[in-house]
């Protein structure tokens, strides 16, 4: 570019050199921001809370397919399974937990299935040293029948559209539980292939493990099942399910069928 005095201005060259520098700085700023977001996410979901969703009907009626629920990571301490998105699998296998606190009877826990690594949710029925058994559809803990109260008959369609009729009960596990929970039973003599969830055990819970079952007792692949996860090592616990945030499930009450109530910001 010619200036009035006939000299050549270097303003264009200056702009050319400044633009790439400004672009690089902008990219670097975004990279730092995104890195801080990722680090914050990893720290928060490792040590504090994480959100999971319910993919199956094994925890009905308390948890329905599509429910999004909060899991507290800190309740039982931390292990390599506490790392989010399966990052702990790249670490060497190790036993034990940091700042370990044992779960209680009746806790709803999220854990890594020791057989296939899949994240699973069930209720803690037995602790180390306990004996767990089902006979005639009834649950026995340390030789004593766990009391249940009949609430009524529930008719609903499952996620595949199949009509189901279940018996709903209120149950309380352990002596230090202040709240009861609901369970489903299709019958007290239900058969699942070559075994029956209503006639299983007795199982002696090993040290360092917990025995888990689903609340939908006849539709749960749990510690009772031959091809279930077995007893769950304490280091496989990811955390305790605390509350339902919301659900994507859609239900229209019709034809005399039962529809679950709203599950928005509900403590478990």
For the chain, the domains span: 13-47, 48-267
- 183 has a pLDDT exceeding 80: yes
Q: Does the annotation mark 240 as catalytic?
A: no
β-strand partners of 167: 153, 185
Candidate list 82, 122, 168, 223, residue with the active-site label: 122
Across the range 2-25, mean pLDDT stands at: 53
Confidence (pLDDT) at 194: 83
d(CA 53, CA 244): 9
Q: How big is the CA angle at 127 (ends 98 and 189), to the nearest 5 degrees? A: 140
Lookup result for tokens 């352990």: 174
Confidence (pLDDT) at 114: 93
pLDDT per residue as tens digits for the range 29-66? 777 767 776 766 666 666 566 888 888 899 999 998 88
pLDDT per residue as tens digits for the range 206-240? 999 999 999 999 999 999 999 999 999 999 999 99
d(CA 155, CA 197): 21
- 9 has a pLDDT exceeding 70: no
pLDDT per residue as tens digits for the range 61-112? 999 888 999 999 989 987 777 777 666 566 666 677 778 899 999 999 999 9
> How many C-beta atoms surround the C-beta of residue 133 within 10 A?
18
Between residues 4 and 202, the one the model is more confident about? 202
Q: Does the annotation mark 58 as catalytic?
A: yes
Q: Superfamily for 48-267?
A: Umud Fragment, subunit A (2.10.109.10)
Confidence (pLDDT) at 184: 96
Of 5-14, 15-24, 166-175, 247-256, where does the model show the most confidence? 166-175
């Amino acid at each position: 570019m010619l200036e009035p005095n006939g000299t050549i201005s270097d303003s264009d060259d200056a702009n050319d050199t400044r633009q790439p520098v400004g672009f690089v700085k902008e990219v670097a700023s975004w990279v730092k921001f995104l890195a801080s977001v990722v680090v914050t996410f990893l720290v928060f979901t490792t040590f504090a809370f994480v959100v999971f969703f319910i993919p199956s009907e094994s925890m009905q009626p308390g948890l329905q397919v599509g429910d999004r629920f909060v899991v507290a990571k800190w309740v039982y301490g931390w292990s390599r399974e506490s790392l989010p998105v399966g990052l702990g699998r790249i670490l060497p296998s190790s036993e034990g937990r940091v700042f370990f606190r044992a779960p209680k009877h009746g806790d709803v826990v999220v854990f890594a299935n020791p057989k296939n690594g899949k994240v699973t949710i069930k209720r803690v029925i037995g602790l180390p040293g306990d004996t767990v058994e089902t006979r005639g559809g009834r649950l026995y803990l340390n030789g004593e029948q766990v009391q249940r109260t009949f609430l009524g008959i529930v008719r609903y369609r499952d996620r595949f559209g199949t009509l189901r009729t279940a018996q709903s009960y209120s149950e309380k596990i352990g002596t230090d539980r202040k709240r009861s929970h609901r369970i489903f039973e299709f019958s007290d003599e239900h058969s699942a292939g070559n075994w029956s969830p209503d006639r299983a055990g007795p199982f002696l819970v090993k040290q360092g493990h917990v025995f888990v079952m689903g609340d939908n007792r006849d539709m749960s692949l749990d510690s009772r099942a031959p091809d279930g996860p077995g007893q769950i090592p304490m280091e496989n616990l990811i955390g305790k399910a605390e509350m339902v945030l919301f659900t994507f499930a859609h239900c229209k009450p019709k034809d005399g069928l039962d529809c679950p109530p709203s599950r928005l910001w509900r403590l478990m």
